Amino acid sequence: MTTGTAPAPAASPDAEVPLLHGTGARRAVPLALALALVATAIAYPLTDGGARDAVSWAIVLLGGTLSVTHAWLSRGPRTGLGVLALVLLVSIAFESLGLATGFPYGSWTYSSVLGPTLLGVPFLVPLAWLMMAWPSWLLAGRLARPVRATRRRPARIAWAAAIFAAWDVVLDPQMVDAGYWTWAHPDPGLPGIDTVPLTNLAGWLLAGLVLMALLDLLVERTAAPPAVGDAAPLLALAWMTLGGALAHAGWLGLPGSAAWGAGLGAAVLAVLAVQRSRRR
DSSP labels, 146-157: TS-HHHHHHHHH
Q: Is 279 within the bounds of a domain?
A: no
Buried b (16+ CB within 10 A) or exposed e, 195-230: bbbebbbebbbbbbbebbbbbbebbeebbbebbbbb
Q: Answer yes or no: is 1 within a domain.
A: no
How many angstroms separate the CA atoms of 199 and 26, rounded?
41
Is there a domain that residue 5 lies in? no
pLDDT at 66: 98
In a domain, 280, yes or no: no
CA distance from start to end of the chain: 49
State residue 1's pLDDT score: 44
Residue 104 falls inside a structural domain:
yes
Residue 29: inside a domain? yes
Q: Residue 139 is part of which domain span? A: 24-274
pLDDT for 277 equals: 86
- According to the model, what pLDDT value does residue 180 have? 96
Residue 226 near residue 142, CB atoms below 8 Å: no
pTM of the model: 0.92
**What pLDDT sits at residue 5?**
47
184 domain residue, yes or no? yes
Give the pLDDT of residue 2.
46
Identify the pLDDT of residue 93.
98
pLDDT tens string 179-203? 999 999 999 999 999 999 999 999 9
- How much is the pLDDT for 15? 67
The tally of domains found in the chain comes to 1
Q: How many CB atoms lie within 10 A of CB 93?
A: 15
Regions of the chain short of the pLDDT cut 50: 1-6
Cα separation of 218 and 3, whole Å?
Answer: 30
Q: How far apart are CA 69 and CA 72, in angstroms?
A: 5
Residue 90 lies in a domain: yes
